[in-house]
Amino acid sequence: MSLHAGVSTGPARPFHSSKAQNDQRIERVLQAIRADPSQPIGALAMLASLSVSRLSHLFKMETSCALRSYLVECRLERAARVLQSSETPVKEISYSVGYQHPPSFARAFAAKFGCSPKQYRWQQRSLAKE
């Protein structure tokens, strides 16, 4: 599920509901994810003083997006930026964005971008040279 319309230019932004006042706990969680998408959901729940299930429910109500999907999207977007701008090994990038198993990261990355992280880096560098 893509959270973006058209070309992706930055971290995913969930849609906000039409409520006049957004839940400040969810705003704190959104800020924390944007600052460091590697944080586990349990840590985000503690930040919001909520259980994981309650946080997931409120997040979906406030943003119309599942928390886990948003977190994965942000992690993969961050990884793509690091791949474009550094020589950091893919394994290190996977850990830095919150994946404990590099093969899981590579599968998620390929599902989103249509190629492996190494291929993505090569393609982006080739495009930059043109």
Secondary structure (H, E, C), 97-129:
CCCCCHHHHHHHHHHHHCCCHHHHHHHHHHHHH
pLDDT band for position 14 (cuts 50, 70, 90): low
Does one domain contain both 41 and 80? no
Instruction: Supply the mean pLDDT for the chain.
Output: 87
Q: Is residue 114 part of a domain?
A: yes
Does one domain contain both 64 and 104? no
Q: Is residue 12 part of a domain?
A: no
Helix (H, G, I), strand (E, B) or coil at 92: helix
Region 6-16: mean pLDDT is 45
Q: Give yes or no for residue 78 having a pLDDT over 70.
A: yes
pLDDT digits (tens, 9 = 90+) for 18-77: 443 578 999 999 999 999 999 999 999 999 999 999 999 999 999 999 999 999 999 999
Does one domain contain both 79 and 123? yes
Q: How many domains does the chain have?
A: 2
Does one domain contain both 63 and 79? no
The per-residue pLDDT for 114 is 97
pLDDT band for position 10 (cuts 50, 70, 90): very low
Task: Please choose, from the candidates 115, 84, 108, the residue with its C-alpha nearest in 3D space to the C-alpha of residue 94.
Answer: 108
Query: What are the backbone dihedrals phi and psi of residue 106, each rounded to the nearest 5 degrees, phi first?
Result: -60, -40
Q: Is residue 16 part of a domain?
A: no
Give Cα 47 to chain centroid, integer Å. 18
- C-beta contacts of 106-115 below 8 A and 24+ residues apart: 108/72, 108/75, 108/76, 109/76, 109/79, 109/80, 112/73, 112/76, 113/76, 113/80
Q: Is residue 37 part of a domain?
A: yes
The CATH code of the domain that includes 29 is 1.10.10.60
Query: Computed over its alpha carbons, how large is the radius of gyration of the chain?
Result: 16
What gap in Å lies between CA 66 and CA 118, rounded to an integer? 28
Specify the DSSP class assigned to residue 11.
Answer: S
The per-residue pLDDT for 129 is 77
End-to-end CA, the chain: 31
The per-residue pLDDT for 125 is 86
Range of the domain at 98: 74-129
Q: Is residue 6 part of a domain?
A: no
